[in-house]
Amino acid sequence: MWLHILVFVLTFCFMEFMAWFSHKYIMHGFLWSLHADHHKKDHDSWFERNDAFFIFYAVISIGFFLLWKNDILEIGLAIGLGIFAYGLAYFMVHDIFIHQRFKWFRNANGRYAKAVRRAHKMHHKHIGKEDGECFGMLLFPKKYFKQ
């Protein structure tokens, strides 16, 4: 059981790296066409092409659940839940808290809340795929806590 908890926590933490990596090198790289509407909306839909990245990671998470269910990978459930938990945290912080796609948590004004908003605002000041900064979600440079 401790192994599964450790794998869950490590997977959740690893997903912050994956979010940073895929955001910097994939979303602002060869799949910019899917991510661009997140920086500059070019349509009237509530959904964004950028939402495809959520679907990608959901499929990966489901794949690990299936590996566990079919007795192929014992820690598959822990990995799948770690990916799912990070995706939920990402959705809550990025889509709900920062971008207000749902009008919840509007008055969160703690030190971390202000810092995460500042860091993400700096990321979005660049509407093109070049010259970006702050590609992670839950972790970001200390300087955003100090402002």
Cα atoms in the Cβ-side hemisphere of radius 13 Å centred on 69: 8
- Tens digits of residue pLDDT in 127-143: 777 777 777 788 887 88
3-class DSSP string for 5-24:
HHHHHHHHHHHHHHHHHHHH
Look at residue 80 in the predicted model and tell me its pLDDT: 98
Domain boundaries, the chain: 2-35+48-146
- Tens digits of residue pLDDT in 10-39: 999 999 999 999 989 998 999 998 888 888
- Distances in Å between the Cα of 85 and the Cα atoms of 16, 34, 44, 61 are 11, 23, 30, 10
* pTM for this model (two decimals): 0.88
Asked whether residue 6 carries a pLDDT value surpassing 70, the answer given is yes
